[in-house]
Structure 1
Amino acid sequence: MGTGIWDYGHRAGYAPGTDLVGYKVEAADGSIGKVDRHTDDVARSYLVVDTGPWIFGRKVVIPAGLVTRVDTEHETVHLTCTRDQVKDSPDYETNGRHEDEPAFVRLTETHYSNPHM
């Protein structure tokens, strides 16, 4: 999963320019929140998901390569990762981390590329 983790897969059904803000986000095993913002930058596409009360309103970065399907009819984004993977993901809002910082990008890649960690 390391290569292409920041790009939407060809089968995900994402059309560049589609506004995903407000879409529900479903992990492989249940709901995790809503899209707060997203990018479709080449080789650095991702979602910022507001998890709401599920994990105390925390926001997380989800690389676009984890998106399996974008359902525009039901305004839902489906992911390959589990709720636990999202819950244990790096928090970009604490300790001054920002989703564009190289150290945070590497940490995120490592987390989602090595789900046993």
Structure 2
Amino acid sequence: MSDIWGYGPASKYSSGTDLTGYKVEATDGHVGKVDDATDEVGSAFIVVNCKPWLIGKHVMLPAGTITVVETDQETIHVNRTKDEIKNAPEYDPELHRNDAKYRTTLGTYYGSHGR
């Protein structure tokens, strides 16, 4: 499951790149923009603001769900559908950003959908 929390080599992610504001595209369409991101080894993720698609909802996506980062287009593609993202465990930045139990739950959820 630790693979899900790291950027894969095919993602073309360069360590230290600020992903804030990048558009996020699921396999079946646009889901939102990045509000927060980290590239911490073993716990890397992005937080996506899903307005207006899912009003007021933010989601945490483990870095392992990212298929490619297009820096020239400021776009991130993930290997999940909009429904998979919509049905993920709810993310609250005040409660979950550094919560190991939440990350385990999220890692299990996204890990069960394949990498």
Place the TM-score, normalised by the shorter chain, in its bin.
over 0.9
How far apart, in 2, do the equivalents of 1:44 and 1:3 lie? 8
- Work out whether 1:107 is the aligned partner of 2:105: yes
- Work out whether 1:17 is the aligned partner of 2:7: no
How far apart, in 2, do the equivalents of 1:115 and 1:10 lie? 20
Q: Verify the 8 A CA contact 1:91 1:97 in the aligned structure 2.
A: no
TM-score by length of 1: 0.91
CA RMSD of aligned residues (A): 1.6
Q: What's the secondary structure of 2:48's corresponding residue?
A: strand
How far apart, in 1, do the equivalents of 2:91 and 2:48 lie? 11
Q: Whose helix proportion is higher, 1 or 2? A: 2
Mind listing any 5+ residue stretches in structure 2 that lack a counterpart?
Answer: none
TM-score by length of 2: 0.93
Mind listing any 5+ residue stretches in structure 1 that lack a counterpart?
Answer: none
How far apart, in 2, do the equivalents of 1:40 and 1:69 lie? 15
Cα deviation code 1:28-47 (max 9, x no counterpart)? 11100000010000010000
Aligned-pair identity (%): 41
Q: What's the secondary structure of 1:54's corresponding residue?
A: coil
Dislocated runs of 4+, deviation >4 Å: none
Q: Verify the 8 A CA contact 2:2 2:42 in the aligned structure 1.
A: no
- The structural deviation recorded for 1:53 is 1.5
* The one of 90, 95, 98 aligned to 1:97: 95
